[in-house]
Amino acid sequence: PSVLDSFALLSGQLNTLNKVLKHEKTPLLRNQVIIPLVLSPDRDEEIMRQTEGRVPVFSHEVVPDHLRTKPDPEVEEQEKQLITDAARISPDAAQKQIQSLNKMCSNLLEKISKEERESESGGLRQNKQTFNPADTNALVAAVAFGKGLSNRRPPGSGASVQSGQPGAGAIIAGTSGIQQVPMTGAPAQQQPMLAGVQMAPAGQPGKE
């Protein structure tokens, strides 16, 4: 009978507690202040999971910071001083100070945005390449060392020309701007025309 009486008492208290918690005027427990009953310096995995890894232990060092409902005394004193100073200022003076502060902030933001735009444009100008390094290197190598230039000389400037064979033609080598003149059975004394310019006869060096 004593066990049944205790069980009936506990059952009635649990029912009463459930009714109180389910009542619409009862605030949510998650919004209530937690009172620490057990503090331990050991690592608590459940607290790690609930705080997403921010609080590994629930010790005497972290409890005052995490469960504080009021700021530090120094912060409270500074806040009271600011409230007192703000109460002494008239509404007109406060409005003027607000406008002045807004103007200063706007000017500062404009300067910062302008400097950012200038730095971005300057970086784009510096990074933009206005020449081809390969062409520049090829031009320097050609001027300084003659790299890539043709070293062949056209006939008539020291090179022998074979003639006498019917149908054989000698093509003057050179660049694409030089006219190709076929020579068929012409004697060696004939002076070929090279792009409208008279060349020196074979065997005689041209004038430099």
pLDDT of 191 over the 80 cut: no
Q: Are strands 197-198 and 193-194 parallel, antiparallel or unpaired?
A: antiparallel
pLDDT of 208 over the 50 cut: no
In angstroms, the CA 152 to CA 139 distance is 20
Q: Are strands 57-58 and 193-194 parallel, antiparallel or unpaired?
A: unpaired
Number of H helices, E strands in the chain: 6, 4
Distances (CA, A) of 171 to 15, 148, 202: 117, 22, 15
Per-residue pLDDT tens digits for 154-169: 665 554 444 444 444 4
If you average pLDDT over residues 18-24, what whole number do you get? 86
Closest CA to 181 of 207, 147, 203, 156: 156
Number of other residues whose CB lies within 10 A of the CB of residue 190: 13
Indicate the burial class of 47 (C-beta count within 10 angstroms; 0-12, 13-18, 19 or more). middle
Report the range out of 28-37, 55-64, 124-133, 193-202 with the highest average pLDDT.
55-64
In angstroms, the CA 145 to CA 2 distance is 116
pLDDT at 151: 67
In angstroms, the CA 171 to CA 154 distance is 9
pLDDT at 80: 92
Report the range out of 21-35, 46-60, 175-189 with the highest average pLDDT.
46-60
pLDDT of 202 over the 60 cut: no
pLDDT at 60: 85
pLDDT of 134 over the 70 cut: yes
Give this prediction's pTM. Answer: 0.27
Domain ranges across the chain: 71-118
Across the chain, mean pLDDT equals 75
Alpha helix segments (H runs only) across the chain:
2-22, 45-50, 63-66, 73-88, 91-127, 133-145
Distances (CA, A) of 51 to 33, 46, 63, 78, 154: 16, 9, 14, 31, 89
If you average pLDDT over residues 37-48, what whole number do you get? 85
If you average pLDDT over residues 105-113, what whole number do you get? 94
55 with 66: CB under 8 angstroms?
yes
pLDDT at 171: 44
Backbone angle region of 167, left / alpha / beta, with phi > 0 → left and psi within -120 to 50 → alpha = left
Question: H or E element: which one contains 197?
Answer: strand 197-198
